[in-house]
């Protein structure tokens, strides 16, 4: 592979080991499903070695090819765009029911579909989201241990560093990924253990405060996010229902919980562009009333945004609110990755759509109805977008109305 | 892709078009599943273009990586070797039930597993065969249109031409594949139409004769293969139950039918080595009594052969008998491909295991029990091996005992 000569092979190896041992914390005997772009093959192979050495049963890779994705938009007849590979996604749901762990590698060009017909892009996204529902539910419920990591794909690198020669761009993206993932140091597994403890300290404090709502204020933002009844703050390592403590996102700098989907009021402006399945959506500004978005604008990608909001009944409501200090390493890198895995860790954010049942007290034992009665949102989408910056203050509002400073100028107040 | 500079891109393009239009005869609106080695990407992409242009719904590629296969043998714990990705294979069965067409591309190193522990290879093969049962049944029943073609993989080429520089070896294999697949000429689709007519003429004659059995004689072979009641000879194009006339194998030079699995008697010797899932099995000699193999030997790979015969109750009985003249283009190339798709078209052959219900009169409407009562065999394996050569005679034996010459010295007698 030509990539491996550009991309530090020691760091690839460490990321593979970290993904298996800390990200997935793969348990001997577990099967493993890996989704990855073809380009990520050197990383997939290393992960395979570590996973089999850790006792994996059978490892199944599902590779995707951006050229085949584009071929559909350029060649397929109209009826194609409402179809999805239901059999494959249903199968993934079955795999998770049988304790298969899930590793996702991101790395494709975030603007792959930028020049394609937004109507068709929207239809394909909707068909895929619907088909993915059984698998997605099992992931958001944390039925099994899962992990997402990144590979420095060449087209992605060229989007981020358009002025550099392409190999240099790829090298630069690889360094940014490895640094954010803490594998450019000698003991990534130890570093993640320490990092998890820090995130735990923050979420423990927030759980102790038991705020009724958070109030975000700053330029273009005056937003009150009611928190769900019995909400619980999470961050870093997470106990899946199968008993495995995994790190779902590498990198991760956030602590997050479930908003009350009927109790969000006010206006909020995005602070970074959102790259959604191939389209860049920039300068989002939306108004919430009784938890639902009643007005939505974007300076770019507004059509795709409006389509997203129409995905289903829960797509206009919040499923997640997350706090990330402006001083987070990813924020300080000054890079826009056009990828949620990274960009959501550069700023506090909210997510439209499906909530995590994990973010409730005793969440693993709550039924769907119980989650809804506590204010948890249900949707076939889950889309994070960034609302934090160095100019944003956050107050926690207690049930008696007392305001407690949580963030000042984008940093933890305490 | 570096391969495309070595491999004639016009021929890749023609093979892709032939696979979609003649091999699959893809019907507008059909989904398509493609299994392929990663190396075959240039061909997969071309097939994707042609398939979407032909009205494919959604195309799902399942790529396999030989390095990941080897990693399992070298790193996995013992319990891994009895596991398979059941969820994926079950999903394929569901896909076929929903009219998804099936394209398989072969191209991996046929001796990939030659140096691995045969016990483990056998266990993995068995686990995969069992997991594949629902999907395989739908394919052998011709529920849907399917097609197998080949990609000139580099490791495969090096096995076939060990004395050539590797790029030359790959070029030579590509030429052999394109020639056998009839895409090295201007009108492959027209050539296949003519070829199908020739194969139809042979199978029509055999159906008219309605032989009770075939008698193979030659060096090391004195074998009577009883034919199943209501057997039907097939060759080339085939009508699937979904109404599509596909060409399952490209290349294909055979006419074939279903033996009576209880009525095979005598001894038979292989005339070419069999490459079975990574192991070369050579100089097979077996004895049949009442349809079942009672003695089996091989000069090489005997352990794997014996494991194959123990796969299940039907693995010692025949599911197919096929006639191929010694003058077939693949035979005349003088090449041993170590791959059934090619080598079975160089010589008359028999197959252990599952029969094709298509090879019965009104086969698509027969139940499993009806097929068994007519002498059709049932198994989770289907393994072809070559018993034809320029020294083999075949007689057709009528119900009254009359012998009709079918092959003399490896060629059609009439």
Q: What is the pLDDT of residues B309-351, one digit of tens each?
A: 999 999 999 999 999 999 998 998 999 899 989 998 999 999 9
Q: B364 and B315, same structural domain?
A: yes
Q: What is the mean pLDDT of chain A?
A: 95
Split into its structural domains, chain A has a count of 2
Count of pairs with CB atoms under 8 A, one residue in A, one in B: 133
Q: A312 and A263, same structural domain?
A: yes
Q: Quick one: pLDDT at residue A323? A: 97
Is residue B244 situated within a structural domain? Answer: no
Q: A367 and A226, same structural domain?
A: yes
Is residue A196 situated within a structural domain? Answer: no
Which chain B positions have a beta carbon within 8 Å of A61's beta carbon?
Answer: 63-65, 68
Q: B320 and B357, same structural domain?
A: yes
SS (H, E, C) chain A: CCHHHHCCHHHHHHHHHHHHHHHCCCCCCCCEEEEEEHHHHHHHHHHHHHHHHCCCCCEEEEEECHHHHHHHHHHCCHHHHHCCCHHHHHHHHHHHHCCCEEEEEECCCCCCCCCCCHHHHHHHHHHHHHHHHHHHHHHHCCCCCEEEEECCCHHHHHHHCCCCCHHHHHHHHHHHHHHHCCCCCCCHHHHHHHHHHHHHHHHHHHHHHCCCEEEEEECCEEEEEEECCCECCEECCEECCCCCEECCECCCCCEEECEEEEEEEEEEECCCCEEECCEEEECCEEEEECCEEEEEECCECHHHHHHHHCCCHHHHCEEEEEECCCCCHHHHCCCCCCCHHHHCCCCCEEEEECCCHHHECCHHHCCHHHHHHCCCCCCCCEEEEECCCCCCEEEEECCCCCEEEEEECCEECC
Residue spans of chain A under pLDDT 70 = 1-4
Is residue B218 situated within a structural domain? Answer: yes
Interchain contact, B58 vs A95, CB within 8 Å: no
- With bands split at pLDDT 50, 70 and 90, how would you rate the model's confidence at B198? very high
Is residue B43 situated within a structural domain? Answer: yes
Q: What is the CATH number of the domain that holds A7?
A: 3.40.1830.10
On whether any CB of chain B is under 8 Å from the CB of A116, the answer is no
Is residue B268 situated within a structural domain? Answer: yes
Q: Closest partner residue to B45 among A68, A84, A87, by Cβ?
A: A68
Q: B214 and B270, same structural domain?
A: yes
Query: Using one digit for the tens of pLDDT, what is the confidence trace for A170-190?
Result: 999 999 999 999 999 999 999
- With bands split at pLDDT 50, 70 and 90, how would you rate the model's confidence at B141? confident
On whether any CB of chain A is under 8 Å from the CB of B98, the answer is yes
Residue B3 has pLDDT above 70, yes or no: no
Is residue A194 situated within a structural domain? Answer: no
Interchain contact, B59 vs A72, CB within 8 Å: yes
Which chain A positions have a beta carbon within 8 Å of B91's beta carbon?
Answer: 87-88, 90-91, 94
Residue B4 has pLDDT above 70, yes or no: no
Mutation site, B48, B56, B87, B128, interface A, largest A CB count within 10 A: B87
Q: Quick one: pLDDT at residue B212? A: 98
Q: Between B355 and B276, whose confidence is greater?
A: B355
Q: Quick one: pLDDT at residue B280? A: 85
Q: Quick one: pLDDT at residue A3? A: 46
Is residue B186 situated within a structural domain? Answer: no
Q: A313 and A209, same structural domain?
A: yes
Q: B296 and B165, same structural domain?
A: no
On whether any CB of chain A is under 8 Å from the CB of B91, the answer is yes
On whether any CB of chain A is under 8 Å from the CB of B84, the answer is yes
Q: A162 and A273, same structural domain?
A: no
Q: A401 and A319, same structural domain?
A: yes
On whether any CB of chain A is under 8 Å from the CB of B36, the answer is no
Residue B277 has pLDDT above 80, yes or no: no
Q: B165 and B28, same structural domain?
A: yes
Q: B133 and B60, same structural domain?
A: yes
Lowest mean pLDDT among A247-251, A283-287, B75-79, B301-305: B301-305
Q: A227 and A375, same structural domain?
A: yes
Is residue B194 situated within a structural domain? Answer: no
Q: How far is B81 from chain A (nearest CA, A)?
A: 8
A279: containing domain: 203-237+250-412
Q: Quick one: pLDDT at residue A226? A: 98
């Amino acid at each position: 592979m030509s990539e491996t000569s550009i991309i530090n092979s020691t760091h690839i190896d460490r990321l593979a080991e970290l993904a298996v041992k800390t990200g997935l914390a793969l348990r001997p005997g577990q099967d493993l499903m890996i989704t990855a772009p073809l380009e990520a093959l050197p990383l997939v192979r290393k992960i395979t070695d570590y996973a089999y050495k850790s006792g994996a049963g059978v490892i199944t890779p599902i590779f995707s090819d951006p050229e085949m994705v584009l071929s559909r938009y350029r060649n397929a007849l109209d009826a194609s765009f409402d179809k999805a590979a239901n059999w494959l996604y249903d199968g993934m749901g079955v795999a998770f029911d049988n304790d298969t762990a899930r590793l996702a590698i991101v790395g494709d060009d975030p603007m792959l579909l930028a020049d394609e017909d937004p109507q068709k892009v929207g239809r394909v996204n909707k068909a895929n989201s619907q088909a993915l529902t059984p698998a997605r539910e099992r992931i958001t419920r944390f039925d099994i241990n899962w992990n997402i990591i990144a590979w420095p794909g060449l087209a992605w690198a060229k989007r981020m560093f358009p002025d550099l020669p392409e190999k240099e761009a790829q090298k630069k993206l690889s360094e940014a990924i490895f640094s954010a993932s803490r594998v450019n140091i000698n003991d990534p597994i130890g570093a993640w253990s320490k990092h998890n403890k820090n995130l735990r300290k923050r979420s423990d404090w927030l759980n102790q405060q038991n705020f009724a709502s958070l109030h975000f204020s700053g330029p273009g933002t005056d937003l009150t996010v009611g928190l769900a009844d019995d909400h619980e703050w999470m961050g870093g390592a997470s106990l899946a229902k199968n008993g495995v403590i995994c790190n779902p996102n590498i990198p991760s700098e956030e602590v997050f919980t479930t908003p009350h989907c009927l109790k969000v009021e006010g206006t909020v402006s995005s602070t970074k562009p959102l790259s959604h399945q191939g389209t860049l959506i920039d300068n989002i500004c939306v108004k919430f009333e009784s938890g639902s978005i009643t007005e939505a604008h974007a300076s770019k990608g507004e059509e795709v945004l409006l389509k997203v909001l129409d995905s289903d009944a829960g797509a206009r409501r919040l499923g997640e609110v997350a706090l990330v200090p402006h001083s987070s390493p990813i924020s300080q890198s000054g890079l826009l990755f056009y990828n949620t895995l990274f960009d959501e860790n550069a700023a506090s954010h909210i997510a439209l759509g499906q909530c995590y049942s994990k973010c409730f007290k005793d969440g693993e034992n709550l039924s769907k109805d119980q989650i809804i009665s506590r204010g948890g949102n249900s949707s076939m989408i889950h889309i994070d977008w960034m609302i934090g910056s160095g100019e944003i203050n956050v107050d926690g509002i207690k049930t008696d109305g007392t305001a407690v400073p949580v963030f000042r100028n984008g940093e933890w107040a305490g």
